[in-house]
Amino acid sequence: MLEELFGTRKPVIGVIHLLPLPGSPRWDGRMEPILLRAEQEAAALATGGVHGIVIENFFDAPFTKGRVDAATACALTLAARRVMSICELPVGINVLRNDGLTALAVAATVGARFIRVNVYTGAMLTDQGIIEGQAHELLRYRRELSAGRTIKILADVMVKHAAPLTPKSDIRQMAKDTVHRGLADGVIVSGVATGAGPDIEDVRAVREAVPSTPIFIGSGTTKDNIGELLRIADGVIVASTLKRQGVLENPVDVDRVRSLMSAAAR
């Protein structure tokens, strides 16, 4: 799947954090600056050599735990089209906090190749409250959109900024449920928060639980640890370390992208 989708067995996927969109608390009424920054970051990621891009409404926080506003969905669609018009990399959509249905709708509309879903099966206690998985609804909706299995679903296991409702939850069993009962195409393992690296033992546990399923690292990848992570995982999704000075609010820095990709190649 990874070679078909990204052209490599070990993809590095860069993230575009969109500025606040219409429908979010910090929207300032201007759409063009959002689109221009998205274009600039896409160009930096592509020039730096990543294998794919995820577009997400990161700066829309605080997020709703349900469906996003219709204006947000429209803005995401515009941003995705602008990115895809200047970049031939495979693009994915992540609609925070957990609106996989809108992510699928946007992906099907613009021709994106995959989506990310934070809580796909089970339930997690998050800063938005209790969020329940939506695997059943997503798989039905994917079929309704005639997308078949062309739009891949990458699902988090014990997603960051969240905790399982039962304190003794086993990440191995959660991974198995996500793949074998939820039918996710790939799984994502993250640290406890944005920019935090995962527990390497959690990554190993998920690898043992679902050995035939692509595993991505969803946070905390740097040029110093990417080699260790890719020895176990199949790919990484990277945002914070690619920003100027490593500051989350800053735009993507093409030199930091090149540095990470050089480390990945080594």
Q: Give per-residue pLDDT as tens, 97-114.
A: 999 999 999 999 999 999
Domain edges within the chain:
2-265
C-alpha–C-alpha distance, residues 152 and 146, integer Å: 13
Residue type, 33: P
**Alpha-carbon distance values, 143 to 26, 85, 187, 228 (Å):** 34, 26, 20, 37
Cα 49–Cα 189–Cα 21 angle in degrees, nearest 5: 65
Residue type, 64: T
C-alpha–C-alpha distance, residues 102 and 20, integer Å: 17
What local confidence, expressed as pLDDT, does residue 193 receive?
A: 80
Q: Give 147's pLDDT tier (boundaries 50, 70, 90).
A: low
What local confidence, expressed as pLDDT, does residue 168 receive?
A: 66
What local confidence, expressed as pLDDT, does residue 83 receive?
A: 98
For residues 162-173, give the mean pLDDT.
Answer: 85
Is 155 a residue whose pLDDT tops 80?
yes
What local confidence, expressed as pLDDT, does residue 149 receive?
A: 66
CB of 243 closer than 8 Å to CB of 256: yes
Is 11 a residue whose pLDDT tops 80?
yes
| CATH classification for the domain delimited by 2-265, as one of 3.40.50.720, 3.30.360.10, 3.20.20.70, 3.40.50.300 | 3.20.20.70
C-alpha–C-alpha distance, residues 242 and 222, integer Å: 9
C-alpha–C-alpha distance, residues 153 and 133, integer Å: 13
The SS3 call for residue 217 is strand
What is the per-residue pLDDT across 189-233, written as a single tens digit (0 to 9) for each?
998 888 788 899 999 999 999 999 999 999 999 999 999 999 999
Beta bridge partners of 236: 12, 217
CB of 261 closer than 8 Å to CB of 241: no
